[in-house]
Amino acid sequence: MRRPYQMSPSNRRSGTMAKISNLIADIQNRDLVLPEFQREYVWSREQAKQLMVSLFKEYPVGGLLFWKTPHPPELKNVGQLDSGIGTVSIILDGQQRLTTLYLLLTGDIPPYYTKQDIQNDPRELYFNLDTGEFQYYQATRMKGSPLWVRVVDVFTQKVNVFETAKQTAPDESQIFELAERYNDNLERLRHIKDVDLPVQVVPSHANMDEAIDIFDRVNSQGTKLTDAELALTHVTGKWASARREMKRKIQELSRQHFYFDLTFMTRALTGVVVKRALFETIHQSPREDLIAGWERLSQILDYLVSLLPGQAYVHSTEDLNTNNILVPIVTHLSLNGGQFPNERALKHAIYWLYNANIWGRYAGQTDQRLEHDVGVVVRETSPWEELCAQIVDQRGRIEVKDIDFVGRGAQHPLYRMTFILAKALGAVDWFNGMPLARHPRNRYYIHSHHIFPSSILYKERYDSHNHLHRKLVNEIANRAFLTASTNRELSNRRPEEYLHEVEERFPGALDKQFVPKNPDLWRVERYEDFLAVRRTLIASKLNDFLNSLLVEREETKKRTVEEIIAMGERTFIEFKSTLQWDVREEKQNKALRHSVLKTIAAFLNTEGGTLIIGVEDDGSIYGLEPDLALAHNSPDRYEQLLANLITDAIGPQYNHLIQGRFETVEGKPVYVMEVEKAPEPVYLKGAKGKEFYVRVRTTSRALDAEETVNYIQMNWS
């Protein structure tokens, strides 16, 4: 019989109580279910252990939140329940705790999950009958010890404490005493199933949006959802099968050695659907947009996975420093028919991808940089030159130098780029001749081979305990790419013993992996000279390879004003109905000018943007006729007024960063202003003195003094 978690009128604020054993029974009977928008089981094994410790010690472990509804959304591993099943309780908060308890008290996976959903299985948690300690199985401590029992077995099998006491008691006189102690601890553990947990219930009249809103609010407690998980919750709240579709696609692409996760898929979907990179911007997207966006994204990923190995020598996401590099490319393709229009455009995109990979474009300030770069992609049909300029602004240069390899090991992005370069140059394995551009498996899996074996270097020249020495030994310039079988075959052979064999077997093989061919450099005493020469070779070959992609200059094209308006307002796009005509009062209102000026100032202080006057907030065209009438219908006077306003309120030195033009849309004139980012902070003269504005999502926001100082330090210092 169903046991609904109904609060009495006198107890609505604090909720009601439910025994853990009853909660588990309701999960088994599917009276208590998990909605599709909830994430998988992500608790660590340590979190699961600490939950049991807290319950064993009778500490509070927090409450649960359920949504009681006769119309449940799509459910995990269930789909839709039978229409006649009645009211069920949906788990909104507490699923990680309930799943942990279900796993440990029944030994089974709860029906709302599959084995693949359990990322860190806690069922090998053990309990010490003597001390009451919880610990995961460790053979050195537990093998052969009757005191350690599996927690699952405590609840699912009979544990004979007298037999245990007989094995552990020093003599027979202590058997009963020990058995009594063991039994006390055992019963104390078993009592967990009778613990009451506080439960609060969202009433049945709540709808899906209200339930998700409550889910957002309680997210600050427990294991906090990431921005990506919260965004995916909103997506699945509207499109129930989104998570399953993403996981299916992830598995499909992994078979081609491209390994994505739900975070990437959600970010990429955000780029495709709303043309933004911030996760929160997809929260309000309607179901039909999400489904259509996913279909486009799925096709784009198929296209990239088939394209990148042959055109960019990227045979796996393991060749990339981060999958985030693909987000601007995915967004660009979604705006341009799902493919690159020609080889020139493709090569420029690959050139940017390589440099973003080399210079760690998204290694820090990931959200901000992705949001900016996606904005560039949206504004320009050929954005790659501008995106590369951002890397130069960030790093100071884009050319690779030999000094960039000094002390850099296999974890540095240049290591992956060196491997890509080797594949592009046709590098082969040194002993079996297999091209590295294939994607080998098993014994032919690519290994990172120390040309000078580390064991010999540590034995004869360097101290393995010295940090700087370890960096020298493990430098990229001491690495070659070989199959696993060849790497094992070479083992600790000195380069002077085998490099000449490589060149004899496969002429040119050393050149294709940038190995100096001077035999004098192959001796251990010349190791640092070898590194210096090879660093120069790699840098030179890499720059030549990158520059070869830019034989034809790509023509940078701005999007038409109609395309920009269709995108809607965003961080870098703002619409204003008029400059100074009050639409409501139908007369001139000079106070409205400030709204235009603060948008310009905010663009100057952020990353630039496009301001269009004569367009309503919703994108409908209002036109400039009333504004122009105030300027005696003279476009020249209108532009002169704008220039004077900018000069007086912002400063004449910034006029060159602002380009304006008249356009006609739907037969009505509008004024388009393209604003570049200023090289220094820009202040706007306001009624209360100088004001500092920045763009925050789709608004221009004034910062206070402390915020202004911090912002300036982050962006111009």
**521 touches 533 (CB < 8 A):** yes
Q: What is the pLDDT of residue 444?
A: 42
d(CA 396, CA 382): 23
SS3 content of the chain, % helix, strand, coil (to 5): 50, 15, 35
d(CA 601, CA 647): 12
Q: What is the DSSP letter of 382?
A: S
Which residues partner with 135 through β-bridges? 126
Q: Which two tokens mark 367?
A: 């959200």
Type of residue numbered 11: N
The alpha carbon of residue 532 and the mean position of all alpha carbons in its chain are separated, in whole angstroms, by 37
Q: What confidence tier does 445 reach under pLDDT thresholds 50, 70, 90?
A: low
Give the strand pairing for 668-675 and 658-665.
antiparallel
d(CA 58, CA 53): 8
d(CA 118, CA 385): 44
| pTM to 2 decimal places | 0.70
For the chain, the first-to-last Cα distance in angstroms comes to 67
Q: How many CB atoms lie within 10 A of CB 8?
A: 8
Q: Is the pLDDT higher at 4 or at 91?
A: 91
Quote the CATH superfamily of domain 561-715. Answer: Schlafen, AAA domain (3.30.950.30)
Q: Which two tokens mark 356?
A: 């973003």
Which residues partner with 481 through β-bridges? 448
**535 touches 400 (CB < 8 A):** no
d(CA 432, CA 483): 9
d(CA 116, CA 44): 15
Judged against a pLDDT cut of 70, whether residue 146 lies above it is answered with: yes
Judged against a pLDDT cut of 90, whether residue 15 lies above it is answered with: no
**570 touches 379 (CB < 8 A):** no
Which residues partner with 428 through β-bridges? 435
Percentage with pLDDT > 90 across the chain: 68
d(CA 569, CA 125): 53
Cβ contacts of residue 1 below 8 Å, gap of 6+? none
Q: Which two tokens mark 304?
A: 């990239």
Judged against a pLDDT cut of 50, whether residue 214 lies above it is answered with: yes
Q: What is the pLDDT of residue 704?
A: 92
Cβ contacts of residue 238 below 8 Å, gap of 6+? 285, 286, 287, 290
**319 touches 420 (CB < 8 A):** yes
Domain ranges of the chain: 1-222, 227-398, 403-548, 561-715
**141 touches 130 (CB < 8 A):** no
Give the strand pairing for 581-582 and 587-588.
antiparallel
pLDDT in tens, 301-354: 999 999 999 999 999 999 999 999 999 999 999 999 999 999 999 999 999 999
Question: What is the pLDDT averaged over residues 216-226?
Answer: 63
Closest CA to 651 of 704, 597, 710: 597
Give the sign of the dihedral formed by CA 146, CA 151, CA 155, CA 157.
negative
d(CA 675, CA 660): 9
Tell me if residue 663 falls in helix, strand or coil. Answer: strand
Which residues partner with 278 through β-bridges? none
d(CA 674, CA 697): 18
Lowest mean pLDDT among 159-168, 339-348, 373-382, 479-488: 479-488
d(CA 132, CA 570): 57
Judged against a pLDDT cut of 60, whether residue 13 lies above it is answered with: no
463 CB burial (10 A radius; 0-12, 13-18, 19+): exposed
Q: What is the DSSP letter of 8?
A: P
pLDDT in tens, 616-655: 999 999 999 999 999 999 999 999 999 999 999 999 999 9
Cβ contacts of residue 113 below 8 Å, gap of 6+? 34, 40, 41, 76, 77, 99
Question: What is the pLDDT averaged over residues 593-608?
Answer: 94
d(CA 253, CA 65): 36
d(CA 227, CA 207): 23
Judged against a pLDDT cut of 80, whether residue 220 lies above it is answered with: no
Closest CA to 436 of 492, 399, 487: 487
